[in-house]
Amino acid sequence: MSERIEIDLPGKLLEGIDALIDGVSIKSRQQAVEFILERNLTVEKVKKAVILAGGKGTRMRPFTYEMPKPLIPVQGKPLVQHTLDLLVEYNIREVIFSIGYLGDKIREYFGNGNNFGIKIRYVEEEESLGTAGPLNLMKDQLTESFIMFNGDILVNIDLLDFIRFHAREAGIATIALKMLPNPSRYGTVRMKGNRITEFIEKPEKGAIGGMINAGVYVLEPEILEYVPEGHAMMEHDVFPRIAEEGKLYGYSFQGQWLDTGTHESYEKAIKEWNPLR
């Protein structure tokens, strides 16, 4: 249900509103105002991000003998700083880092986040806990919807649209999905509408086209009920159970996504990544 309201705006604000009108996605002042309000009110629902940065990065040795993988440089910045830039762009300014291997170096570099326009807290994995287990270390801090990133990816995704999609579908978890022409290195998914129904561990070599898990999620606090104690993986221990219950959704996005898991993909990332700033 909509309701008509009338407001008087100064000329400078109107100029800013008019600048948003592109004739394609925003065609009028009304749509521009709706976009501004929705952007601020929707993103405000997600105030916190979790970044998984505790892995050993064994495939990136010898670099990772002395440097944790999230600090490997990409175009003049540590890899994971590009994720922080994305969060700041969407005004998500609370971050929890899960650190483990060489975690002191991550803590030393980013500190409390003040120098990066963000507030950072840390939880420490005494032993490797996988991609889901670290959530048990921060249960008391995850009381509202939150977004989670793998710490070894580069991604440019419209977080506003992603969060809005998740809120509309009202599931427990939404996975960002990226279409790749050759998905054989990654797991892919089967879908029914927007709902993820099944995970395919590794497609056959030469498989043409597939939606892969991009390592970015919007999650509800209820996700913690599905995470077992100790080492646990989102991909194997958590998401399949939620999919069986019909509460797991997939969001396909068009923005840039680059893996840095191997020397070859890292070299590609250095050459092709388009940073926000």
For the chain, domains (ranges, CATH) are 41-272 (3.90.550.10)
Closest of 21, 234, 243 to residue 129, by C-alpha:
234
Tell me how far apart the alpha carbons of residues 183 and 172 are, in angstroms, rounded to a whole number: 26
Distances (CA, A) of 31 to 28, 57, 259: 5, 45, 36
Name the helix (H) or strand (E) containing 213.
strand 210-219
User: Who contacts 59 (Cβ-Cβ below 8 Å, separation ≥6)?
Assistant: 261, 262, 263
Give the pLDDT score at 204: 56
Tell me how far apart the alpha carbons of residues 248 and 173 are, in angstroms, rounded to a whole number: 5
Tell me how far apart the alpha carbons of residues 177 and 249 are, in angstroms, rounded to a whole number: 10
In this structure, the chain runs to a length of 277
Tell me how far apart the alpha carbons of residues 268 and 104 are, in angstroms, rounded to a whole number: 28
47 labelled catalytic: no
Q: Which of 105, 202, 247, 271 is catalytic?
A: 202
Judging by DSSP bridges, how do beta strands 248-252 and 173-180 pair with one another?
A: parallel
Tell me how far apart the alpha carbons of residues 222 and 7 are, in angstroms, rounded to a whole number: 40
* Verdict on whether the full-model pTM lies above 0.75: yes
Percent helix, strand and coil across the chain, each to the nearest 5: 35, 25, 40
Amino acid at 220: E
Give the pLDDT score at 44: 53
CA atoms within a 13 Å half-sphere pointing along the CA-CB vector of 107: 12
Whether the Cβ atoms of residue 155 and residue 83 lie closer than 8 Å to each other: yes
What DSSP assignment string belongs to 170-204?
T-SEEEEEEEES--TTS-EEEEETTEEEEEES-PP
Helix (H, G, I), strand (E, B) or coil at 27: coil
Which pLDDT tens digits describe the chain residue by residue (277 residues)?
566 777 777 776 777 778 878 776 677 877 777 666 665 555 457 889 999 987 766 666 776 677 788 888 888 899 899 999 999 999 899 999 998 888 889 999 999 999 998 999 999 988 889 999 999 999 999 999 999 999 888 999 999 899 999 999 989 999 999 988 777 777 788 889 999 998 887 655 545 458 888 999 999 999 999 999 999 999 899 999 999 999 999 999 988 898 877 787 777 778 878 876 5
Give the pLDDT score at 41: 54
